[in-house]
A and B are shown apart, each in its own frame.
Chain A
Amino acid sequence: MKRYLPMLVALGGMVGLTIWMTNIGQVGFFPLAAPSKLLREVMRHLQIVVYAAALAIGVGLPLGFVLTRRAFRFVSPILVGLTNMGQTLPTLAFIGIFAVVLGLGLQAAVIALAVYALLPIVRNTYAGIRSVDPATKEAARGMGMSTAQIVWKVELPLAMPVIMAGIRTSTVLNVGTAAVAGMIGAGGLGEIIMSGLAMRVTEMVLQGAAPTAGLAIALDAVLGTAEQWLTPRGMKPATEMVFRG
């Protein structure tokens, strides 16, 4: 429980700040976001992040896995280079490019974020599976496990903590990045922040920023718990953070 205390304090602070700001209701001529509007944008924000994460996992996990197979190993430097390059692009530019190609709206935002989340997932899946002790795999093979059995019973369970760390990192990062998606008309808390900035109403900026932070904190805790849960007992959590943003 002690582990969760700082998280709960921070989360409580963010929720409190949001409620406080929303209760102000109006600053000068400018009405702040109504509770219902705020809730809608929180859900929208979450939707963008979750869709992007699902897409990134769906593509990144198999991709990372395939790269570890002998036949595809030659592609891996190319792909890692490519994903690295993707990550060096500024988020804003990235989302802008996707908006130009796919048009404004939810679709462009989700795809842009998914591509952005791909790197940590591909790289951690690749690293996690490659880091499985060759002796363990040899023992498995020597005892007569089929290739599929080695993948499902040995490689994936052993790589799981590292894979989960990648998913967690990219997903939590994307909560922040998704705020930018407001700029291309995808909605979410970014829209509230942007309106606040445009009208120079600090309270409104906070109204969008505080729940964004809260969302990131909560999601990090949820995924952290899932990571713990998926880490087989008997494996030290030393592999927790192979890649951190």
Chain B
Amino acid sequence: MIKLEDVTKIYPDGTKAVDDVTLEIEKGEFCVLLGPSGCGKTTSLKMINRLISLSQGKIYVDGRDVYQMDVNQLRRSMGYAIQEIGLFPHMTVEQNVTTVPRLLGWSKARCRERTAELLDLVGLSPPETFMRRFPNELSGGQKQRVGVARCLGADPPILLMDEPFGAIDPITRERLQDEFLRIQDEIRKTIAFVTHDIHEAVKMGDTIALMRDGILVQHAPPAEMLAHPKDSFVEDFVGSDRALKALQLMRVRDVMDETPPKVRIDESLETARGRMQELGVNFLAVVNEDERFEGWVNRRVLRRSGEQVKDVMMRYTVTGRRDTPVNEALSLMLGSAIGNLGVVDRRDKLIGVVTFRSLSEAIQASYSEDEDPDEAHAERETAA
């Protein structure tokens, strides 16, 4: 979909901002351009829609050389969002969102319909309220959402995004990232996304293109980059906690024990003790008659006096879902008294348990599935 071929940018003062970059972004791929500031990632992005001119090389969009296309047509065919958002302060949210549709000559009715649809998509509802507002009547997060809606305006197949979530507080950013991933699941755009935040890159990207000093160092899916950094720069950049970062790419469903030891809430303490003995474990998940998760018992609480499990159990309602990232699950486990995490479905039914043991086993297993890392590293070196 987007292809950079031996692309080089040399500024008049001689600085080589981008040095012989070759990069291909597939249709529907979310490619994150990552790197420290001044590495050429933004320059590369802006060369795609010709905001910055090429010095050498070629850029193809959908097989067509971007310099063979009319520059404004080219830009209108791809969404563009920047960190500063750059909303037009003198236009309503609707006018902002429909900037490109109006340039393309869409009818008023169609513009209105599209605005409603987009505002709904980015979580600004009811759209009728937000449509008529001006940017100075919106919060930072809302502006950012309008920025995203605007870049989706004419439903372009390609989005170019330059740190679109850079200027907002961490909590809102986290939420917008989640929502944007949900949107991307629906719309499947081809995205080039610039960031300097490795967390964001790992979380958002199908692939990461890591740059340094204008050179593309490694272009790989996040899991691969974290597991097998190509050289010491990549290793440093992804950080010594890269194994922890890799956890966010795994889901609870990959690591949970699907047949957890459990006990019903109305069974006797005797039964619970017996089951623990029998299974050789030191905790049981407590469920009610409908298999709903209620809490935990361990050896210590079972020594308390009482008749039924519910008299002594630790009610612990923090739970995970099948698709909770493992890093979040781990954090919940570390924060809980029991050190385990109950995994429930939509109706709170217990479907599994994550324990430190199941976690480490799953991680071990995922490593051994991989090729031997050192060997793979060596292979890539020779290939390069």
Residues of A within 8 A of B (CB): 133, 135-146, 149, 154, 157-158, 232-236
- CB contact list, B46-88 vs A, under 8 A: 46, 49, 51, 71-77, 80, 82, 84-88
Contacts of A140 in B (CB 8 A): 86, 88, 99
- Interface 1/0 per residue, B119-152 and A, CB below 8 Å: 0000000000000001111000000000000100
Which of B89-97, B201-209, B374-382 forms part of the interface with chain A?
B89-97
| Distance between Cα atoms of A143 and B161 in the complex (Å) | 12
Contacts of B100 in A (CB 8 A): 143-144
Subset of 8 A-B contacts with CB under 8 Å: A133-B86, A136-B86, A139-B85, A143-B99, A143-B100, A144-B103, A233-B134, A234-B137
Given A144-B103, A232-B90, A234-B91, verify A139-B134 contact (CB < 8 Å): no
- Interface 1/0 per residue, B147-161 and A, CB below 8 Å: 000100100000010
Given A135-B82, A232-B90, verify A142-B49 contact (CB < 8 Å): yes
B35 to chain A, nearest CB (A): 21
Known: A136-B88, A142-B82, A234-B92. 18 other contacts (CB 8 A): A133-B86, A135-B82, A135-B86, A136-B86, A136-B89, A138-B84, A142-B49, A142-B51, A142-B75, A142-B160, A143-B80, A143-B100, A144-B103, A146-B72, A149-B103, A158-B90, A232-B91, A234-B90
Q: Which 9 A-B pairs give the minimum distances between C-beta atoms? A: A234-B134, A139-B86, A232-B90, A135-B84, A144-B75, A144-B76, A142-B80, A135-B86, A144-B72
Chain B contact residues: helix, strand, loop or mixed: mixed
Chain A residue at smallest Cβ distance from B92: A234
Chain A residue at smallest Cβ distance from B90: A232
B288 to chain A, nearest CB (A): 55
Number of residues in B with C-beta < 8 Å to the partner? 31
Residues of B within 8 A of A (CB): 46, 49, 51, 71-77, 80, 82, 84-92, 99-100, 103, 134-137, 150, 153, 160
Asked if B82 and A139 sit within 8 Å, CB to CB, the answer is: yes
| Distance between Cα atoms of A142 and B79 in the complex (Å) | 8
Contacts of A145 in B (CB 8 A): 72, 99, 103
* Neighbour of A143 across the interface among B76, B85, B89, B135, CB < 8 A: B76
A182 to chain B, nearest CB (A): 42
| Distance between Cα atoms of A68 and B85 in the complex (Å) | 23
Given A135-B85, A140-B88, A143-B100, verify A235-B136 contact (CB < 8 Å): yes
* Neighbour of A154 across the interface among B72, B84, B88, B160, CB < 8 A: B88
* Neighbour of B136 across the interface among A142, A146, A149, A234, CB < 8 A: A234
| Distance between Cα atoms of A144 and B80 in the complex (Å) | 9
Given A133-B84, A143-B99, A144-B72, verify A158-B89 contact (CB < 8 Å): yes
